[in-house]
Amino acid sequence: MRTARVLIASVAALAALTACSDGPSAESAELTWEDSPLNEALGVVWGSGQDPEEMEREEAERMRKVEEVTAACMADEGFEYTPVEYDTGTMIVTEDEDWDTEEWAQQYGYGVTTDPWSAQEEEVAEPEEEFVDPNDEYVSGMSASEQEAYYEALYGPQTFTEEEEWVEDEEFVEEYDWEEAGCQGLANHEVYEEGDPWSDPAFTELFEAMDQLYQDGEKDPRMREINDEWAACMADAGITGMTTPTAATEQFYEEYDALYQKADAEIDWENLDWEALEAAGGTDPVAEIMEKMGLAELREREIAAAVADFRCQEELDVEARSLEIQFELEEKFIETYQADIDAVVAAYGKDA
């Protein structure tokens, strides 16, 4: 299922492309994300600027509907199912206003090998009572075979890949199919997907073209010029081998993941003594091994690159210039797809 997050991430990736030529125009220097023509045109569809409390209420209502549909489906399968009333509490997050500063980069780099988010003040209002699944008593009274049939009806058939079928160092990804996910799959499909414009065949062309818009933006000669100047600026700061800001961040994620896999392979998980580990003050054996394998050196390089990146983007007015190019492309896109945009807003806009 396509989501607004994918599209918004594409917008961000385009605007993150970097650095200088003759500098931004006076008009572009005043641009902000709120000026995005596409955000203005489609914000009512993907919920841009929506009040967080309203979003929380809407999500609670969707969860209630999922349970309702699940119960009806399970009844059709011959089972009782009591809808679960989820009380997730209220999440209160105090954002770090300094994240987009040189000081933040000096402390956390790109946030890959560091842990900036744990420093954020986060408070979750705990539910008043401990969660109890209202179906536990009903299921516990079943025989083993009845329980198996119940869970298959609820979640779909559970299949497991035999160990010998796995290929070492190859990622195993099983494509999700809601039709094979039981009543929960059906309910989530009806509530989250059927009313989703990104799953509507009528607008497939529009959203595919939107994705392509941002891919084409990365190839725009003006963007390439910005990237070349950014790379030169980074090289002057002693950071070589990087072509774009996005690639710079990805490089550290790749190195971190490789180090993680190497450390993980060193651990005998089946025979790990968790009690002894906790008693010794450690809870993450992988992190401890990663430190021994050179995580500190990777962290040092990440921070150095992030600081140089920040300074180059500031010096070259990257964001202003990138936004100017992006918004120009968006305006042309809207001219081409105005009828489709009007249609999707009419069908899925906030007041539709």
- Report how far residue 18's alpha carbon sits from residue 67's, in angstroms, rounded to the nearest whole number: 46
Query: What number of residues does the chain have?
Result: 352
The pLDDT tens digits for 75-124 are 999 999 999 988 655 554 445 557 789 999 999 999 999 988 765 544 44
Degrees, nearest 5: CA angle 191-195-200: 135
Cβ atoms of 114 and 140 closer than 8 Å:
no
Query: Which amino acid type is present at position 82?
Result: T
Structure tokens at 223: 């963007």
> What pLDDT sits at residue 284?
81
- Report how far residue 69's alpha carbon sits from residue 336's, in angstroms, rounded to the nearest whole number: 40
Residues 6+ apart with CB under 8 A from 29: 317, 320
The pLDDT tens digits for 151-210 are 999 999 976 544 444 454 455 456 788 999 999 999 999 988 777 788 888 999 999 999
> What pLDDT sits at residue 327?
94
Please give the mean pLDDT across all residues of the chain. Answer: 82
Give pTM, 2 decimals. 0.67
Cβ atoms of 268 and 285 closer than 8 Å:
no
- Report how far residue 119's alpha carbon sits from residue 114's, in angstroms, rounded to the nearest whole number: 11
> What pLDDT sits at residue 10?
43
DSSP 176: P
